[in-house]
Structure 1
Amino acid sequence: MYRNATDFVQDWKNSSKGTLDVFQSITDEKLSQSIVEGHSSLGWLAWHLTTAAAMFGGLAGLQIDGVSADDQAPDTIKEIMDSYKKVAVSIEKNAIENFKDEDMLTEVDGLGGKVPRGQLLRILIDHQTHHRGQMTVLLRQAGLGVPPIMGPTQEMK
């Protein structure tokens, strides 16, 4: 849980950069790559991370530009990346302008009830990390490069 607004902003910058690095490894031809038929694809996961970030930001009390949960997924990774960038910048900018340390303890409506804002923002970042991990498996399965998010990858050896 975040108790310091600056810590969230710094973590968000790092997390959103890592997410964009994963997105940059995806090609349009591999957007439909999934572990097995009917499971989450690279394209679905990328769009889910985009809309979920906007949703979490909104729950935390931020005005988020870029997408809404009702928007249809774009057909290209470039369009997904452009939307994600708008959301990521919007979260960063609005958090810097609007959050003070004491705001991290304010209770907000989360997915299952009231939670401290700092906890909801931690869930946002953990959610991204979880799905990025899934995406790295799919990148390898698709024969695409895996970017170094938290350290060197096998491809770098």
Structure 2
Amino acid sequence: MFKTIEEFLINWGHESESTQKILNTLTDKSLDQEVSAEDRTLGRIAWHIVTTLGEMMSRTGLDFEANPHDAAVPTSAVEIAGAYRSTNEAMVAAIKEQWTDESLAELKEMYGEQWTIGTVLGILTAHQTHHRGQMTVLMRQAGLPVPGVYGPSREDWAAFGGEAPVV
């Protein structure tokens, strides 16, 4: 759980930048990549990340412009990446304008439970990270390069002139 708005914004800055790098790498063709017909496509997961910002944060009372959670998945990777960028910017601005450090202790009804806003922010971050991991596997299957997030990817190692360590 986050104790201050600044603590969240510093952490979220890194996490949202990493998500943006992943989304910027997608292609229109890659959006249809799937593990199976029963699972979400790469495009559906990417769009879910975008729309969850608005869906989850609206439950806290935070007011900002976001795509509806039930909006159709765009067929354009550029559109998805742009929607994440603008939604994220609007969310961060709204947090700065509408919340104080004391807001983080406020309880909100979230999916049948009571969560503090600080807890919501932690779960939002973990949720995004979870889906970002799913996306990188599907990106590999689609033949896309994978940007490094918490360290260099195979492509990053190659750019450094080395080989990724095999463990």
5+ unaligned residues in a row in structure 1: which ranges?
A: none
Give the structure 2 partner of residue 139 of structure 1. 139
TM-score where L is the length of structure 2: 0.89
Give the alignment of 1:40-51 within 5 angstroms. Answer: 40-51=40-51
Query: What SS does the aligned partner of 1:132 have?
Result: helix
Q: Give the TM-score taking structure 1 as reference length.
A: 0.95
* Aligned match of 2:36: 36
Q: Which has the larger radius of gyration?
A: 2
| Shift >6 Å, 4+ stretches | none
1:122 shift after superposition: 0.6
AA aligned opposite 2:153: T
8 Å contact from structure 2 (residues 60, 108) kept in 1: yes
> Does the 8 Å CA contact 1:12/1:92 hold for their aligned counterparts?
no
Distance 1:44 1:50 in 2: 10
Corresponding position: 1:98 with 2:98: yes
Question: Which residue number in structure 2 is paired with residue 64 of structure 1?
Answer: 64
Contact 2:104 2:116 in 1 (8 A): yes
Q: Give structure 2 stretches of 5+ with no counterpart.
A: 158-167
The 1:53/1:118 distance shift into structure 2, 3 A limit, reads same
Alignment-derived partner of residue 163 in structure 2: none
Instruction: Within 5 Å, give how 1:17-36 maps onto structure 2.
Output: 17-36=17-36
Matched, 1:112 2:112: yes
* TM-align CA RMSD: 1.2
CA contact (8 A) 2:53 2:66 kept: no
CA contact (8 A) 1:106 1:116 kept: yes
Number of residues paired by the alignment?
157
Q: Is the CA contact 2:49–2:131 (under 8 Å) kept in the aligned structure 1?
A: yes
Q: Percent identity?
A: 33
SS of residue paired to 2:32: coil
Shift of 1:39: 1.2
